[in-house]
Amino acid sequence: MSVRTNNIYGKIVISDKTIKRFVAHVATDCYGVVEFMPKRFVRKVVGFFKFKSDSRGVKVRSFGDRIFIDVCVAVKFGVSIKAVVEALKESVKYKVERFTGMVVDTINVKVTGVRA
């Protein structure tokens, strides 16, 4: 799927893959996020052997002009998980909405590990 909109200059189409990479970039800038973690063990094993796994823990779905984002991350040991998740949600929502001009409906964050 992709997000589509029109303005006075013409049509704008942004693929979910582009938004996924942007979310991964934004999330790595958040303090406390160490790495992305795939949800399933099989994807974790496959991702270990692939070189292009920069956004393997991010899933983006779009319906109409709404964007739904799922992120699986590992957080840094010793930080407040709640604070990291809230900061991650706020940062991703704000930056994706500015980047795409669309509404981010939901952001689900799953913390799957803690790293030193």
Give the mean pLDDT of 13-39. Answer: 89
Name the residue with higher pLDDT: 46 or 25: 25
Domains of the chain, with CATH numbers?
A: 2-115 (3.30.70.1350)
Rounded to two decimals, the pTM is 0.80
- Residues 68-114 have pLDDT tens digits of 999 999 999 999 999 999 999 999 999 999 998 889 999 999 999 99
What one-character DSSP code corresponds to residue 85? Answer: H
Dig out the tokens for 8 from the structure: 């006075």
Q: Is the pLDDT of residue 55 over 90?
A: no
For every residue of 28-78, DSSP letters joined together read HTSTTEEEE--SSHHHHHHHHH-S--TTTTEEEEEETTEEEEEEEEEEETT
- Residues 86-97 have pLDDT tens digits of 999 999 999 999
Largest CA distance in the chain: 50
Sign of torsion over alpha carbons 29, 74, 20, 54: positive
Name the residue with higher pLDDT: 16 or 40: 16
**Residue 101, pLDDT score:** 86
Cβ proximity of 99 and 13 under 8 Å: no
**Residue 4, pLDDT score:** 80
**Average pLDDT, rounded, for the chain:** 85
